[in-house]
Amino acid sequence: MSLRRSRRHGHPRNLGPRRDAQAAYSEGVGGDLERRTQDKVVRLAGEGHDWVTLSTRLSAVIAGVIPFTRTCWHTVDPGTVLFTGSLNREIKCSGSWLAEHEYVIDDINRWWFLARGQTHVGASSLATHGDLSRSARHRSREGYGTGDELRASFVVDGVYWGAAGFLREEGDLWFTEAEVRLLATMCSAVAEGLRRALLAVPPAVGVPSAGMDAGPGLVVYDEHGDPELISSAAEIWISQLAEYPAPSEPSQSKIVQAVAARARTLKPDQDPLGLTARTRLRTVNGRWLTLYGTRLSGSTGDRTAVVIQPAQVSEVAPLVALVYGLTQREGEVTRLCMQGRSTKEIAQALRVSGYTVQDHLKAIFAKTGVHSRGELVGQIFLEHYVPRWETPDDAPAGWLVHT
């Protein structure tokens, strides 16, 4: 049996077994149900899964207490809140649509906005006071049979690591305030799991193994976000991004389109250093990339370009330090260690005593699971930045290419 909304009375009524979990919650056993669900989420978050496996298993747990029919998950760069990965289940949308409705069009429950709120969770039916047509996102989905949407941004210790959306069919019961509160209790644990998952390489489902590195890739979009040009190197890099399913066309990558959308929204001279429209991510081959967008000027219109290239150590190390939960000062000590500085040199650079540096190193070793500076450099640089080094047979003499 399906869940249908009463046309006569204009509000949902319970007709199906899919509401058993919510009925139990409403009848007074919600506290026990909430605790058991939270325990499952915390256990999954601590098992060290990659983010795709973690999201898939979390979806099953959440579906047991908050029924839904379609879902999507996204990881984000905590520095710029742009997408770094995408997992869709029964939701079909282009990268340009998603980027437009998340970063350009003003609408209810945008994930980056929820991340700044207090509960980090919102339902479309509640935000629109029962009139879903008030949402531009919902109006654009008319004809696809979708109904109410429950959205969550996953934040822990003030850092935003990912987001998810859960949809019901048109005519299904709307999400309730109790379900919003229940999902909100899971958000910090899910965020912790996504944070840890950044250390694991996403699964390479249907992705060809990497060969020799490509050079920087380039994608150019017009003022409406429609693709105009794409380089072969960009196509290679996009094929290695963690997007499931893969985009129908490389230029429709949700990750690339998000960077382009952010660049389009920036006013001239708003971001002179180019720090806002960029994202750092790990490919399914274990490589770290940086994508950054910029507006182009010229007689042919307001274009936007997205450049894709291997990330620099200086770009990756701060993110990895954040994943390990290092404080700002511990991150500074780690950075100086990676530069080969001695304890005395680190102390001088930070204007602290050598004993303080040693205390910071002890804390860093405990958080990263290493026992020496050499292991620390290997953990952050060798393992998380360059998984393996190879010299292709056809490489020019004196060149070392890492893949």
Least confident of 47-51, 293-297, 344-348: 293-297
pLDDT confidence tier of residue 301, bands split at 50, 70 and 90: low
State what percent of residues in the chain have pLDDT above 90.
59
Question: pLDDT tens digits, residue range 212-261?
Answer: 467 899 999 998 889 999 999 999 999 999 999 999 999 999 999 999 99
End of a domain among 311, 339, 358?
A: 311
pLDDT for residue 9 = 32
In a domain, 204, yes or no: no
In a domain, 205, yes or no: no
Is residue 163's pLDDT more than 80?
yes
pLDDT confidence tier of residue 298, bands split at 50, 70 and 90: low
In a domain, 391, yes or no: no
CB contact at 8 A, 317 and 274: no
304 and 343 inside one domain: no
**Dihedral sign for Cα atoms in the order 167, 170, 172, 175:** positive
Domain count, the chain: 3
Nearest to 306 by CA among 271, 331, 279, 285: 279
pLDDT for residue 173 = 95
Instruction: List Cβ<8 Å contacts ≥24 apart for 344-348.
Output: none
End of a domain among 279, 311, 343?
A: 311
The CATH number assigned to the domain holding 142 equals 3.30.450.40
Q: How far is CA 81 from the centre of its chain?
A: 8
Of 17-31, 33-47, 201-215, 349-363, highest mean pLDDT: 349-363
State the Cα–Cα distance between residues 265 and 268, nearest whole angstrom: 10
166 and 38 inside one domain: yes
State the Cα–Cα distance between residues 271 and 149, nearest whole angstrom: 33
- Crossing angle of helices 343-350 and 328-338, rounded to 10°: 130
State the Cα–Cα distance between residues 191 and 61, nearest whole angstrom: 15
3-state SS, residue 204: coil
The CATH number assigned to the domain holding 373 equals 1.10.10.10
> What separation, in Å, do the N-terminal and C-terminal C-alpha atoms of the chain show?
52
Q: How many CB atoms lie within 10 A of CB 186?
A: 24
Q: What is the dihedral of CA 93, 97, 102, 104, to 10 degrees?
A: 180
111 and 164 inside one domain: yes
295 and 338 inside one domain: no
- DSSP summary character for residue 100: I
The mean per-residue pLDDT over the stretch 7-34 comes to: 48
In a domain, 46, yes or no: yes
- Crossing angle of helices 187-197 and 313-323, rounded to 10°: 140
End of a domain among 166, 197, 228?
A: 197
248 and 280 inside one domain: yes
The strand pairing partners of 401, in sequence order, are 390
State the Cα–Cα distance between residues 235 and 214, nearest whole angstrom: 10
Interior/surface letters 10-31, b for 16+ CB within 10 angstroms, e for the rest: eebeeeeebbebbeebeeeebe
362 and 250 inside one domain: no
171 and 24 inside one domain: yes
Interior/surface letters 241-271, b for 16+ CB within 10 angstroms, e for the rest: bbbbebbeebbbbbbbbbbbbbbbebeeeeb
Nearest to 89 by CA among 71, 69, 66: 71
The CA-atom distances, in angstroms, between 382 and each of 195, 317, 376 are 20, 11, 10
352 and 281 inside one domain: no
pLDDT for residue 206 = 59
Q: How far is CA 15 from the centre of its chain?
A: 36
- DSSP summary character for residue 49: -
Nearest to 242 by CA among 232, 227, 255: 255
In a domain, 203, yes or no: no
> What are the DSSP E strand ranges found in 97-189?
121-123, 146-156, 159-169
63 and 110 inside one domain: yes
Beta strand pairing call for 83-89 and 243-244: parallel
319 and 293 inside one domain: no
Q: What pTM was estimated for this model as a whole?
A: 0.84
Domain enclosing residue 292, as ranges: 217-311
pLDDT for residue 273 = 63
pLDDT for residue 383 = 62
pLDDT confidence tier of residue 287, bands split at 50, 70 and 90: confident
State the Cα–Cα distance between residues 302 and 164, nearest whole angstrom: 32
